[in-house]
Amino acid sequence: MFDIKPLLRSAKDRFASAGISEVDAEHLFAYVIGLDRMELHNPIRLEETLKGLGDFGVVEDTFAKLVSRRANHEPLQYLTGTAYFRHLELEVGPGVLVPRPESELLVDAVLTHIRNLEASMVEGNISVIDLGAGSGALALAIATEAPISRVIAVEKSPEAIFWLKKNVAATSENVRIVEADVADVLPGVKCDVVIANPPYIPNSQPLPRDVAEHDPHIALFGGQSGLEIPKLFIEAAARLLKPSGVLVIEHTEDQGEEIAKILSVDFLDIKLHQDLTGRPRWTSATRRSDRD
């Protein structure tokens, strides 16, 4: 059997020198030979796979090209074409943000709220609008884990829409895609829940090389202070939500206080929440009723 250890060691050393996780070498090699990363550590499964590959030179060449691209800080998920979020396996590539696991607690909170609404309902569905849906990670997680929900995914970037459509087609029929700007999307529509993941990074903020060179800037930068576009998302949510409807919005760990000030115009019960890393990265709020 071909010894893959020197090949992996060389790639890991190169990644370490570039400040990239060494484990990415295993992810890439497993991708090239059609295995899951953990199967590389199963000697029997690995040997069977390597024997069936034929010309190992093709494998080495493909792997080397992917290593070079990753060493140049191209996102791992763009190279493999796959990103994982909760139970979902999503297709991603240039033009769409890779979903972050830090958003999982936000989804948990929305699912809990949906269950509470469901318990008090006689019939019907719970309506959810995802503003800035990107790959569809949040919308699809909710649609598949809360079958009573009917989700509308709003996105304006044609590049992101390409991936969103692929993921919705593969995953759930409970998600409707609307290609539009949040400022005037869905006139006359009212919903129970709005999820908002706006661009919120200040325009002048330096970013890690992976992000700065490869992530779509339209999904990153939120204006001079970083709050200009989040404000537009909040205004859209206020228009779209029923009285007592709930908004959850992502932001940087430093923006919670300013986000709360913007929300206070149309929302009550404003609460700052931590993500999986313990940072204050999202806020929930309840739409005021006409009587408030």
Give the model's pLDDT for residue 211. Answer: 83
Cα 65 from Cα 84, distance rounded (Å): 23
Q: Tell the burial category of 109 from Cβ atoms under 10 Å away from its Cβ (0-12, 13-18, 19+).
A: middle
Q: Are 56 and 75 in contact (CB under 8 A)?
A: no
What DSSP letter does each residue of 86-126 carry, written as one string? TTEEEE--TTSPPPPGGGHHHHHHHHHHHHHHHHT-SSS-E
Q: Which of 150-164, 176-190, 197-211 has the lowest mean pLDDT?
A: 197-211
Count the neighbouring beta carbons within 10 Å of the beta carbon of residue 66.
Answer: 22
Which pLDDT tens digit goes with each residue over 91-102? 999 999 999 888
Q: CA 73 from chain center: how many Å?
A: 19
Rounded mean pLDDT of the chain?
Answer: 93
pLDDT at 51: 86
Helix (H, G, I), strand (E, B) or coil at 278: coil
Is residue 1's pLDDT more than 60? no
Task: Report d(CA 204, CA 241) in Å as an integer.
Answer: 32
Residues contacting 95, CB < 8 A, separation 6+:
157, 159, 160, 162, 163, 216
CA end-to-end distance (rounded Å), the chain:
72
Q: Return residue ranges of the chain for CATH 3.40.50.150.
A: 95-287
Architecture in CATH for domain 95-287: 3-Layer(aba) Sandwich (3.40)
Give backbone dihedrals phi and psi of 191, rounded to 5 degrees, phi first. -140, 170
Q: What order of strands is seen across the sheet that includes strand 267-274? A: 175-179, 149-155, 126-131, 191-196, 241-250, 280-287, 267-274
How many CB atoms lie under 10 A from the CB of residue 42? Answer: 13
Residues 22, 39: Cα–Cα separation, whole Å: 17
Rounded to an integer, what distance in angstroms lies between the CA atom of residue 35 and that of residue 173? 29
pLDDT on residue 292? 59
Task: Kindly report, residue by residue over 126-179, the tens digit of the pLDDT.
Answer: 999 999 999 999 999 999 999 999 999 999 999 999 999 999 999 977 899 999
Confidence of residue 122 (pLDDT cuts 50, 70, 90): low
pTM: 0.91
Q: Using the 8-state DSSP alphabet, how is residue 219 labeled?
A: G
Q: Is the pLDDT of residue 254 over 90?
A: yes
pLDDT tens string 29-69: 999 999 999 999 898 899 889 888 877 888 999 999 999 99
Per-residue model confidence as pLDDT tens digits over 278-291: 899 999 999 998 65
Cβ-based neighbours of 292, under 8 Å, separated by 6 or more: 268
Residue 70 to residue 178: CA distance in whole angstroms: 33
pLDDT of amino acid 76? 96
According to the model, what pLDDT value does residue 291 have?
A: 56
